[in-house]
Amino acid sequence: MESNNNSLRQQIADMRQSLFDEEMLDRHYRTVEELSDKDHPNFAEEVMTMYFRDSTKLIAIFENALENAPFNFIVLDKYLHQLKGSSASIGAKKVWEKINEMRDCLRERDIEGTRTVLQQLKKEHDNLRGRIEPYFRMLRQVGPSEIAQRPK
Amino acid sequence: MATSTSGAAWKSGDVVSDQFPAGLRVLVVDDDPTCLMILEKMLRTCLYEVTKCNRAEHALSLLRENKNGFDIVISDVHMPDMNGFKLLEHIGLEMDLPVIMMSADDGKDVVMKGVTHGACDYLIKPVRIEALKNIWQHVVRKKKNEWRELEQSGSVEEGDRSAKPSEDADYSSSANEGNWKSSKKRRDEDEEAEERDDTSTLKKPRVVWSVELHQQFVAAVNQLGIDKAVPKKILELMNVPGLTRENVASHLQKYRLYLRRLSGQHQTSMNNSFINPQEASFGAMTSLNGIDLQTLAVAGQIPAQSLATLQAAGLGRSTAKPGIPLPLVDQRNLFSFENPKLRFGEGQQQQQQHLGTSKPVNLLHGIPTSMEPKQLTSLHQSAQSLGMNMQVNTHGAQNSSLLMQMNQPQSRGQILNDTASSHVPRLPTTQTIVSTGLASGVLGRNGITNNGRGAGYNPVMQNSSMLNFPNGFPLGSASTMSGLPSQGSFQEEVTSEVKGSVSFAASYDIFNDLNQHKSNDWDIQNVGLTFDASQQSNSIPSGSLDLVHQGFSGSQRNMPVRNQSNVGKPMYSIGDIGHGNAQNTSQHLNTLLGDNSIRIKTERNTDVLADNGFFPEQFGQDDLMSALLKQQEGITPAENQFDFDGYSMDNIPV
């Protein structure tokens, strides 16, 4: 058991580290992790869950708005701005970078370019979710607080 | 609230608990749930007491309910229901709490905007907890400044006074440019500069004199009487939390200077422009903007005197001070008009004076003006009452109806109609000009196309000078102009309006003359009455009022308008109003009148009015009306210019 647990923890730690190494997450995520305490041991998970719930919706809305003219650039930028804020707050680095690229395209009224980058954004977004979800699942198995506090 | 503290944790004073800043009461506002969650947690980690909120409106109500319940507010810039900067202004104005802005954008202009709007700090997302750990310094700093301010209130005021002249200059320039907002900004910035220059460390929290606030101020001043208005009493009447006596004092000083300036201008311009009212005025009027109300006034030929008399007589209120003909108008301009509504005011005054001359002012170029002196006079008189109403009515249909009626001068009938229909909305705005300027404006309007709404003067001239009537004219319906026999009444209205807006009345008179309608039907009397009430500071010279009256009397007979809207009634209320919403308009009128700062933002008003269905096309005098309206509404139209997008004519109670 112990060794299983240990290997599990190791696995989890590795998963976490790779997220940083691949720059899918940056140091701001660590800040979020550090906010966990005894009252909210799963704080990071709660935040990430909330983030994915809202960001998925927002991306869908944005994609929809980008489908047909006329395009309301102000509104489109607003969506991106909001997405940018939340993504930055949780440290979703690659997602954040794609959002910036899209905003640049929008500024130049490049709809096609925006659509292209949007697909890339969705991919990064899905990637991140695909890696974070199993990570948290495993965390729960071993006890999240321990892992979260592990220095990285 | 400055001194409110969270329990025993700390005081704005020198006593700071050991645990400070623990217990700092923070309100965090952000529409993004993820960010809000993270922020709340971070703030809790700093041992602050956190309240979170995802809607700006909700945040505002929380703050209002717990006046001393929070020490600092952190808010996101982009929120769906309200712009973060607006929230910032509201908080600064009402509660005077330190506000920290946040955004995912770090663009320099956005940050600058935050600073100029009074944010005490600006954080870029993602917000780091270290940044939050230090926010308590803003609270301490603010309290410290407030104490200082309190201690040095006396000297502060002095400092303020000395700084006023420059600010006043801002007013005039802004008025000329017709851009209140920018001038206001300039003024604010100037104020800030001045504050910095203040010898003492005293740093007054900047008060944003929003349109609403200013209207409250004006209403209070009017209530007290311009002569008796002292900062302390004004402050009490206004009852705005967070506003200090110093703020009011400095604002009052500016206001006084503004009024003085208006009256000064008024006098001079009147004499000059009055000559060939028809042409001259028109010509001048064409460019309502910045125009020359004077010209208009001249055109209106509403003798300032008569107007004033009308005012006095009609209103029955004697607070009106003929001495300050258009201060109101100007004021409006100052504060909210984009255009030189001032001109209107001034013009109006002139008109009033001129009106006495009984020269048929052919304000409307295209309109054969056969206004006869008599008509004019009667118009004046009626207008006076009307004017008063009008002012009040600006909001109310009354004015419009009056206008309409007026528009229906036989000769002009159609013109008016046309104008009315198209300009009616405008009128409201022009009404503000009420004073002589109005008259001219009104007339001018008919022929003159409003520049943007406010321009009402010029365009209207052609078809329906009537339209130019201030919004307040309850013309009833543009189409019913035919029933508008009482041109005079219109005039009166104009005149009356002018009172408050003195100029307004004047315009009416002119209009009447032009249209040769006798607004007998109008119960301008009522209008006039109301007008008076509201115009405490109307500077409409009584002389001009008389004119209006005269004109009016004729019109009083048949003012169909009356039926349309409570022509008489609202007016009265104007004087009394000042507070109810329904009375918004009237109130505004009052304010308008009182302030003489009728906003000649015809443009705005027109729109608003039109939107509200208030002033159907009738108003040709968009400028005047809108100005008035705006005032009444508390003018939101000014909003356009203001940062407060909130302002809008929509407030006009229809």
Q: Which residue has the higher pLDDT, A50 or B305?
A: A50
Query: At B617, is the secondary structure helix, strand, or coil?
Result: coil
* Residue B542 φ/ψ, nearest 5 degrees: -55, -30
Nearest alpha-carbon partner for B609 in B414, B433, B310, B395? B395
Query: Domain boundary residue among B235, B263, B291?
Result: B263
Phi-psi region of B289 (alpha: psi -120 to 50; beta: other; left: phi over 0): beta
CB contact under 8 A, B34 and A54: yes
- Please tell me the predicted confidence (pLDDT) of residue A43: 93
Q: Which residues pair with B620 in a beta bridge?
A: B467
What tokens were used for B602? 């015809």
Distance CA A52, CA A40 (A): 19
CB contact under 8 A, B41 and A43: yes
Q: Which residue has the higher pLDDT, B118 or B48?
A: B48
What tokens were used for B287? 């460019």
Q: Residue A122 domain-assigned?
A: yes
| Residue B240 lies in domain | 211-263
- Most confident of the following: B64-73, B206-215, B578-587: B64-73
| 8 Å CB contact between B493 and B435 | no
Distance CA A111, CA A118 (A): 10
Is any Cβ of chain B less than 8 angstroms from the Cβ of A99? no
The stretch B176-193 carries a mean pLDDT of 46
Q: Residue B435 domain-assigned?
A: no
CB contact under 8 A, B105 and A81: yes
Closest in A32, A37, A82 to B38, CB measured: A32
Q: What is the pLDDT of residues B439-480, one digit of tens each?
A: 333 333 443 333 434 333 343 334 443 433 344 333 333 333
- Please tell me the predicted confidence (pLDDT) of residue A1: 58
- Please tell me the predicted confidence (pLDDT) of residue B167: 44
> How many C-alpha atoms does B548 have within 13 Å on its Cβ side?
67
Q: How confident is the model at residue B14 (pLDDT cuts 50, 70, 90)?
A: very low
CB contact under 8 A, B103 and A85: yes
Query: Domain boundary residue among B263, B280, B306?
Result: B263
- Please tell me the predicted confidence (pLDDT) of residue B240: 83
Q: Residue B163 domain-assigned?
A: no
CB contact under 8 A, A89 and B129: no
Is any Cβ of chain B less than 8 angstroms from the Cβ of A114? no
**CATH number reported for the structural domain that contains residue B36 in this entry:** 3.40.50.2300
Q: Residue B97 domain-assigned?
A: yes
Q: What is the pLDDT of residues B585-641, one digit of tens each?
A: 434 434 444 444 334 443 444 444 344 444 444 444 445 444 444 444 444 444 444
Q: Which residue has the higher pLDDT, A76 or B511?
A: A76
Nearest alpha-carbon partner for B281 in B460, B490, B141, B485? B460
Q: Which residue has the higher pLDDT, B220 or B283?
A: B220
What tokens were used for B596? 């003489």
> To probe the interface with A, which of B28, B29, B36, B37 has the most A CB atoms within 10 Å?
B37
**How many domains would you assign to chain B?**
2
- Please tell me the predicted confidence (pLDDT) of residue B266: 55
Nearest alpha-carbon partner for B491 in B542, B538, B553, B416? B553
Q: Residue A23 domain-assigned?
A: yes
| 8 Å CB contact between B527 and B593 | no
| 8 Å CB contact between B412 and B573 | no
- Please tell me the predicted confidence (pLDDT) of residue B27: 94
Residue A65 has pLDDT above 70, yes or no: yes
Q: Residue B165 domain-assigned?
A: no
Chain pair A-B, CB pairs under 8 angstroms: 57
| Contact partners, residue B115, CB within 8 Å, separation at least 6 | B122
The stretch B548-571 carries a mean pLDDT of 40
Q: What is the pLDDT of residues B537-546, one digit of tens each?
A: 344 344 333 4
Q: How confident is the model at residue B217 (pLDDT cuts 50, 70, 90)?
A: confident
Residue A18 has pLDDT above 90, yes or no: yes
**CATH number reported for the structural domain that contains residue A115 in this entry:** 1.20.120.160
Q: What is the pLDDT of residues B340-365, one digit of tens each?
A: 443 443 444 444 444 434 444 344 44
User: What ranges in B5-73 are assigned the alpha helix state H?
Assistant: 33-45, 56-65
- Please tell me the predicted confidence (pLDDT) of residue B216: 84
- Please tell me the predicted confidence (pLDDT) of residue B17: 54
Distance CA B538, CA B327 (A): 7
Query: Domain boundary residue among B151, B171, B192?
Result: B151
The stretch B488-512 carries a mean pLDDT of 39
Is any Cβ of chain B less than 8 angstroms from the Cβ of A91? yes
Q: How confident is the model at residue A88 (pLDDT cuts 50, 70, 90)?
A: very high
| 8 Å CB contact between B457 and B441 | yes
- Please tell me the predicted confidence (pLDDT) of residue B18: 61
Residue B1 has pLDDT above 70, yes or no: no
CB contact under 8 A, B33 and A50: yes
Instruction: Residue A28: list chain B partners with CB under 8 A.
Output: 126
Q: Residue A109 domain-assigned?
A: yes
- Please tell me the predicted confidence (pLDDT) of residue B6: 42
Place of tokens 């892992």: A147
- Please tell me the predicted confidence (pLDDT) of residue B252: 84
**CATH number reported for the structural domain that contains residue B247 in this entry:** 1.10.10.60
- Please tell me the predicted confidence (pLDDT) of residue B142: 84
Closest in A47, A50, A89 to B125, CB measured: A89
Nearest alpha-carbon partner for B387 in B245, B568, B557? B568
Q: Residue B256 domain-assigned?
A: yes
Residue A53 has pLDDT above 80, yes or no: yes
Residue B165 has pLDDT above 90, yes or no: no
Q: How confident is the model at residue A7 (pLDDT cuts 50, 70, 90)?
A: confident
Residue-level length of chain A: 152
| 8 Å CB contact between B596 and B602 | no
Instruction: Residue A86: list chain B partners with CB under 8 A.
Output: 32, 34-35
Closest in A43, A86, A91 to B32, CB measured: A86
Query: At B122, is the secondary structure helix, strand, or coil?
Result: strand
Is any Cβ of chain B less than 8 angstroms from the Cβ of A107? no
Q: Residue B229 domain-assigned?
A: yes
- Please tell me the predicted confidence (pLDDT) of residue A98: 94
- Please tell me the predicted confidence (pLDDT) of residue B265: 58
- Please tell me the predicted confidence (pLDDT) of residue B588: 41
- Please tell me the predicted confidence (pLDDT) of residue A5: 77
The stretch B467-496 carries a mean pLDDT of 39
Q: Residue B457 domain-assigned?
A: no
Closest in B34, B42, B105 to A86, CB measured: B34
- Chain A residue with minimal CA distance to B35? A86
Neighbours of A60 (CB within 10 A): 11
- Chain A residue with minimal CA distance to B39? A89
CB contact under 8 A, B78 and A82: yes
**How many domains would you assign to chain A?**
1
Q: Residue A152 domain-assigned?
A: no
First to last CA, chain B: 37
| Contact partners, residue B347, CB within 8 Å, separation at least 6 | B269, B273, B285, B291, B292, B293, B294, B295, B296, B297, B298, B299, B300, B433, B435, B436, B437, B438, B439, B440, B441, B444, B503, B506
DSSP string over A7-67: HHHHHHHHHHHHHHHTTSB-HHHHHHHHT--SS-TTHHHHHHHHHHHHHHHHHHHHHHHTT
Residue B50 has pLDDT above 50, yes or no: yes
What tokens were used for A8? 């599990």
- Please tell me the predicted confidence (pLDDT) of residue B526: 40
Strands (E), B23-151: 25-29, 49-53, 72-76, 99-103, 121-124
Q: Which residue has the higher pLDDT, B161 or A29?
A: A29
Q: Rounded mean pLDDT of chain B?
A: 55
What tokens were used for B328? 């109101």
Neighbours of B224 (CB within 10 A): 18
Q: Residue A136 domain-assigned?
A: yes
- Please tell me the predicted confidence (pLDDT) of residue B206: 64
Query: At B74, is the secondary structure helix, strand, or coil?
Result: strand
- Please tell me the predicted confidence (pLDDT) of residue B33: 92
CB contact under 8 A, A82 and B41: no
Closest in A43, A78, A89 to B35, CB measured: A89
DSSP string over A65-132: HTTSSSP-HHHHHHHHHHHHHHHHHHTBHHHHHHHHHHHHHHHTT-HHHHHHHHHHHHHHHHHHHHHH
> To probe the interface with B, which of A54, A86, A93 has the most B CB atoms within 10 Å?
A86
Share of chain B above pLDDT 70, in %: 29
| 8 Å CB contact between B339 and B346 | no
What is the distance in angstroms between the Cα of B30 and the nearest Cα belonging to chain A?
Answer: 10
Q: What is the pLDDT of residues B381-404, one digit of tens each?
A: 444 444 344 333 334 333 333 334
Residue B112 has pLDDT above 50, yes or no: yes
- Please tell me the predicted confidence (pLDDT) of residue B155: 53
Instruction: Residue B129: list chain A partners with CB under 8 A.
Output: 31
Q: How confident is the model at residue A151 (pLDDT cuts 50, 70, 90)?
A: low
- Please tell me the predicted confidence (pLDDT) of residue B51: 94
Instruction: Residue B42: list chain A partners with CB under 8 A.
Output: 31, 35
| Residue A96 lies in domain | 1-142
Burial class (CB in 10 A: 0-12, 13-18, 19+), B42: buried
Nearest alpha-carbon partner for B138 in B41, B205, B210? B205
> To probe the interface with A, which of B28, B31, B38 has the most A CB atoms within 10 Å?
B38
Residue A137 has pLDDT above 50, yes or no: yes
Share of chain B above pLDDT 90, in %: 8
Q: Rounded mean pLDDT of chain A?
A: 88
Distance CA B575, CA A49 (A): 59
Q: Which residues pair with B122 in a beta bridge?
A: B101
Is any Cβ of chain B less than 8 angstroms from the Cβ of A32? yes
- Chain A residue with minimal CA distance to B123? A85
The stretch B234-246 carries a mean pLDDT of 84
What is the distance in angstroms between the Cα of A21 and the nearest Cα belonging to chain B?
Answer: 20
- Please tell me the predicted confidence (pLDDT) of residue B19: 66
How open is the CA angle B128-B129-B132, to the nearest 5 degrees? 100
Shared domain check, B30 and B147: yes
Instruction: Residue A46: list chain B partners with CB under 8 A.
Output: 37
Residue B31 has pLDDT above 70, yes or no: yes
